[in-house]
Amino acid sequence: MTGYGIGWTINDGQDVVSHGGSSVGGISRLIVNRATGLVVAAVGNLSGGPIGGMAGRIFAVFSR
């Protein structure tokens, strides 16, 4: 199993899925916990940057 399905990253054994993307001038990350309903969406108006890590840290704070 690769942990990747149709654009979504699937954490094996967890109810958390995520998707990210970027284009010229923008980047985004979406993280969803299907069990609790917690959703974090982060977007930035730059082509690169720490959006994925930032979204993960926000998700971790609210998952406590």
- At residue 57, the pLDDT reads 96
Written as one letter, the residue type at 15 is D
- Reported as a pLDDT band with limits 50, 70 and 90, residue 4 is low
**What are the two backbone dihedrals, phi and then psi, of residue 52, each rounded to the nearest 5 degrees?**
-60, -45
**Residue 3 confidence class, pLDDT cut points 50, 70, 90:** low
Token pair for residue 44?
């930035």
Q: Is 8 left (phi over 0), alpha (psi -120 to 50) or beta?
A: beta
Question: Torsions phi, psi of 51, nearest 5?
Answer: -60, -45
Query: Alpha helices of 1-64 — where are they, by DSSP H?
Result: 51-62
- Is the per-residue pLDDT at 62 higher than 90? yes
Cβ atoms within 10 A of the Cβ of 14, count? Answer: 10
| 29-59 residue pLDDT tens | 999 999 999 999 999 998 778 898 999 999 9
